[in-house]
Structure 1
Amino acid sequence: MPGQAPRRLRFGGRIAGFGTASGTRVALGLWERTPFGAFADAMIEAGDGHRLLIAPTREIADFIGSTYAFDEVVVAAVEWRRIAGGLSLAAGPLGVRLRLGGLTPLGRLLRAVPGRVAEHPAWLTAISPVASLLVRGVRTAGSAGHGLREYYGVRGIRRIEGVEATFAEADLGPLRPLSPPVRFGFSSAPAAPAIVDVTTTIALPREGKPALVRDREKGQAS
């Protein structure tokens, strides 16, 4: 229908981004509210540029793989839990323990923005040029490919103060900035290691939802 607003998928949760002394950079998605239910995933870029996605199911892997760019996709159990002072995650060959700090100054400012404003695509489109100037590699709105538009509405930012991480039993080394920026999509996580409270909105093409999302909804309705 002419003038019809695009449909949107919303993912609410947290993203933790950090670098390591090995050169490996990691972005962890800890999602509580999504069209697929609650799940977690891990995106890893090695020092040589190899980009890996670890997702818990094939349908989630297919959806994320169609929205972002990877050289390799692995389907494996991804489990995380809160621990004293932080969180731990196990995802196939990846093991992570994060020590978390308090809100950053920018994180406190973001808490003051009303939620409906902070997550609205129009607001995120307007502030994206400013965000990229303030935080290198970060954009709040952009193209996710395949006719999709994506928006990141961040409501809070906490520091990551320490990490213990292994990949295929090899120690990835101490915490480092997430630099250079990761290349999974149009935006990177901030260089300063952090975990953000975020709502990601994906605006679908006017012809509708991806087939795997439609199939899932049909299965739930039957």
Structure 2
Amino acid sequence: MSDRKLKIDIISDVVCPWCVIGIKHLKEAVLKNNWQNQIDVEWYPFELNPDMPPEGENLRDHIARKYGSSKEESEQNRQRLVELGKSVGFDFNFNDESRIYNTRQCHILLDYAHSIGLQTQLKLAFFTAYFTEGKNISDTEVLLDIGESIGLETAEMLAYLNDSSEHDKVDVIEGQWREMGISGVPTVVFNNEQGLTGAQSVESYEEMLNHYLVTKTE
């Protein structure tokens, strides 16, 4: 094939557990076929709860309010996620005090991380901080610590967070996705042409990758 890499855009939110499962399955499909040097991944914002206050909301209460889930249904879903997480090497730690948070600042820092080639590392660090360690990812100090841990500059992070144009940029990008009919995450778009929504199986991602990296180049 040519030296040009396959562009993969991942539209997701940091507090979406299915985004974790999806990216793990996508990664497995890539590694299984040794395609890691043939793809270029970029993460895009999609806030599931853009109006969430900084202090967040109890996760079980949030699920019940938003989706009408009972306590029993919520517990079953959590257990399913824990088991799926273990199957892909990720630890979901839920408890009665688990909260969901506003993710606007996360998406702004992900834009900064993209500019220096550390976007995927930061996204994965956010997933671990939130789902495994139960950290408040709407707290600026927490985010700065996470960013510093992967090599981001504190001054640059603060500059991005304090830049109103960065906030506007998130709004514009999310609006564009919604205009395109995207309403769920994760949504993985291949070569700006085809997209898969939801945490697809390894086989589904492999089929799509094979289409672009093998079939279309023969």
TM-score, normalized by length of structure 1? 0.27
Q: Judging by fraction of residues, say which structure has more helix.
A: 2
TM-score, normalized by length of structure 2? 0.28
Q: RCO greater where, 1 or 2, for CA within 8 Å and sep 6 or more?
A: 2
Q: Judging by fraction of residues, say which structure has more strand.
A: 1
